[in-house]
Structure 1
Amino acid sequence: MAGALPDGEPVPSDGSLPDEATREVGKNGFAVYVHVPFCASRCGYCDFNTYTASELGGGASREEYAETVLAELALAARVIEPGPVGTVFVGGGTPTLLSTDDLGRILEGIDRTWGLAPGAEVTTEANPESVDPAYLRRLRGAGFTRISLGMQSAAAGVLRVLDRKHTAGRAPQAAIEAREAGFEHVNLDLIYGTPGESADDFDRSLRAVVEAGVDHVSAYALIVEDGTRMAGRMRRGELPYPSDDVAADRYLAAEAALSEAGFGWYEVSNWARPGGECRHNLLYWTGADWWGLGPGAHSHVGGVRWWNVKHPSAYAKRLTAGESPGHARELLTGADRHMEDVMLRVRLRDGLPLDGLDATGTARALAGGLLEPGAYEQGRLVLTLRGRLLADAVVRDVL
């Protein structure tokens, strides 16, 4: 389970927001995130806000979860009127542990409350072993247009270190089944830099995602979070800590293999075929508003960020009492919003304007080969391949 939530100012019991936050809600786009906190088992590297059956305790259940989410949605409808919802993303946890009927009810509730924009992107995450062809067909029929499958690796040994339960070939097969079920947009997630992973292991994973025919690939370096089982194993010396040099080599391998296969990077850790970009994540990265439904979910509207109570039981109890499940919130200053905007947009293929950035820092990043000279001459900051490897350093320089 994730660590403690941050502190902040109290959220009003009715969830209300300052007038200045709601005045232009949705001006830059509006999205809905739905958190499903259930997992069949816990992966050794995971510190997300998720719960297995033994961790869940009383007061919450999968069977009642959709109804509880709809109760938060009813509260949200009294707080804001954002206009149509451009994207919906159901994450977890393992959302596909819920029935397709329940996932469909949640989606219908969002449409009934705020309306789905024409052509809205509707994504769910899934573990490969949690879906089969019949489930995928029902999911597509319920209105989901995109699916993101947690593959992580095509090497059995790497999956064992990560405590993943699916077989090495299951994720690519599930991706093929999703395409056959009518999903035009399918993502496979990879993790690289796992202890014991060889260059050949990662090359095999890259070949597998390309051969699966997906239009989107996410690839992230392994991050070892305090409190996870993997962190404990590393402290005891059972596993070596990840290597930054190895992670850089893996990233370069991903860029080479995916580019050759027709994918293009559009965010440092994300590649897509033309038209396959995740529109929901792009809304996050470009300053849109969104409401996060579910325990521990974060939201952002008009410079106000808030986060819900973490445990599903506490979440359900608040809503049963007719109260907001918000744990705390913060009002972002103009400087806060500028800093976050730079941190996110630096990672995008489109980059951001040089206006408002530190001129000395941008010049230093350009001289270091971290920025595209042509874009720089046109007044924009766009990372080179070397710059992508050092994106955090670029952010520090330009701020």
Structure 2
Amino acid sequence: MAGPHPVGDPAPDDGLLPASAAVHAAERDFGVYLHVPFCRVRCGYCDFNTYTATELRGVKQSDYASQAVLEVEAAGRILTASGVPDREVATVFFGGGTPTLLPVTDLVKMLSAVRDQWGLQDGAEVTTEANPDSVDAAYLHALADAGFTRVSFGMQSAVPHVLATLERTHDPERVPLVVEWARAVGLDVSLDLIYGTPGESLANWRTSLEQAIDLKPDHLSAYSLIVEDGTKLARQIRRGEIAPTDDDQQADFYELADELLNAAGYDWYEVSNWATSNAHRSRHNLAYWTGQDWWGVGPGAHSHVGGVRWWNVKHPAAYAERIVAGLSPAAGRETLDAPTRELERILLQSRIRTGIPVASLSTAGRREVAGLIADDLVNAQAALAGTIELTLRGRLLADAVVRRLSD
């Protein structure tokens, strides 16, 4: 299970937002994230807010869709009462956990609630995450029929011993099947990979990349494994049972990913994400990185509207209790001040290829640009044209770039 909540202020039981949340809201996109907090087993590296059957304290997975619908309906009332104008939803994302552990009718029920509450924009992006062993052809067909446009499969690796270290349960030979089934019903396909697993060699990583590329997904994410405190993997490393991957190895993995993906026709558009074209970029994730609005539904889900950020109670039992009682499930919130919003803008927008306008930086930040070019951290041509765009080296050292631009 995930670590503690952020430090914030208590959230009101009625969920009402301050007047500042409504300012310029009509100029921002609105998305919905639906968190499905259930997993069949807990992977040793996972620090997400997820629960297996033995950790639910009497809560039934079969009740969850109805509870999520109640929050969607409450969200509509709260936004209206807070003066936030109605907006059709631009993107919907089902994450977890494993959303596809639920019957497909449950996901359709939740999507229908979003559609009924706000409407969906023409061409709205609707994504669900899925484990390769949690769907079949009929399930994917039902998703497409209901209006889902995209599925993101947790491939992670094509190498059995790497999957075993991660405690992933799917058979890598199933990945080509689910990709084929998804494509057959018109769904865009994204594959998620993890690199830097203890014991993974560069040759192992090359195998995973090449097999993923051979499947011709529309989108591919490659994330560096972060060993989080409190996870089984962290305890194994602390006891010396497994040797961690060092920073130099992680850099080698990333550079290989960028090399092979570029050669295969994928363009990076965010530090950990590549797509075959602009149309196949994850619009939902881009909304996070560009500071748009979203409502997060479900236990532990985070939301953001107009500089107000809040997070729900974590356990499904606590969430169900509050939702059924007609109370906001929010556990805490914060209203970001101007310096914090500016720091977050630099932190997030520097990670995407469209970058940050040089003119939007502070005087001190603009003074750093020449040095960043000299250190091969930002693209010189782009910077001279007025935009901060990270080089390959800059992507590897993105945190250092942010510090220099925001000091």
Aligning the two structures, in what range does the TM-score lie when normalised by the shorter sequence? over 0.9
Match of 1:262, SS state, is coil
1:207 CA displacement = 1.1
Q: Which residue of 1 aligns with 2:42?
A: 42
Contact kept, 8 Å, 1:66 with 1:103, in 2: the verdict is yes
How far is 1:26 from its partner?
A: 4.5
Between stretches 286-295 and 71-80, larger displacement belongs to 71-80
Give, in whole Å, the separation in 2 of the partners of 1:217 and 1:172. Answer: 14
Deviations 1:173-226 (A, max 9, x none): 32222112221x110000001111111111111111111121100001110000
1:13 counterpart residue number: 13
Change (3 A) 1:208 1:55: same
Letter in 1 for 2:60: S
From 210, 214, 220, the equivalent of 1:211 is 214
Q: TM-score, normalised by structure 2?
A: 0.96
1:259 aligns with 2:262: yes
Distance 2:42 2:201 in 1: 24
Give 2:375's aligned residue. Answer: 368
| SS state at 1:129 partner | helix
Match of 2:332, SS state, is strand
Q: In 2, Cα distance between the equivalents of 1:135 and 1:154?
A: 23
Structure 1 spans left out of the alignment, 5+ residues: none
Corresponding residue SS for 2:35: strand
Shift in Å at residue 143 of structure 1?
Answer: 1.2
Q: Let me know the Cα RMSD of the aligned residues.
A: 1.0
Choose which of 319, 322, 332 in structure 2 pairs with 1:318.
322
Query: In terms of mean alpha carbon deviation, does 172-181 or 259-268 score higher?
Result: 172-181
Q: Is the 8 A contact 1:172 1:208 kept in 2?
A: no
Residue 8 of structure 1 deviates from its aligned partner by 1.5
1:386 matched to 2:386? The reply is no
What's the counterpart of residue 138 of structure 1? 142
Which deviates further from its counterpart, 285-294 or 350-359? 350-359
Q: Is the 1:124–1:146 contact (alpha carbons within 8 Å) kept by the matching residues of 2?
A: yes
Q: Which moved more, 1:171-180 or 1:281-290?
A: 171-180
Amino acid aligned to 1:368: D
1:64 equivalent to 2:71? Answer no
Moved over 3 A (4+): none
1:32 maps to which residue? 32
Structure 2 segments unaligned to the other structure (5+ residues): 80-84
Comparing 205-214 and 223-232, the one that deviates more: 205-214
Count of matched residue pairs: 397
| Counterpart selection for 2:160 from 151, 156, 160 | 156
Deviation at 1:362, TM superposition (A): 2.3
Per-residue CA shift, 1:277-301, capped at 9, x if unaligned?
Answer: 0010111111100000000000000
1:167 corresponds to 2:166? no
Q: Name which of 127, 134, 141 aligns with 2:131.
A: 127
Superposition map of 1:222-241 within 5 A? 222-241=225-244
SS at structure 2 position matched to 1:169: helix
Whether the 8 Å contact between 1:26 and 1:289 is mirrored in structure 2 is no
1:220 pairs with 2:220:
no
| Mapped contact 1:369–1:387 kept (Cα < 8 A) | yes
- Asked whether 1:86 is paired with 2:101, we answer no
Question: 7-16 or 288-297, which moves further after superposition?
Answer: 7-16
**Equivalent position of 1:271 in the other structure:** 274
The partner residue of 1:346 within 350, 360, 363 is 350
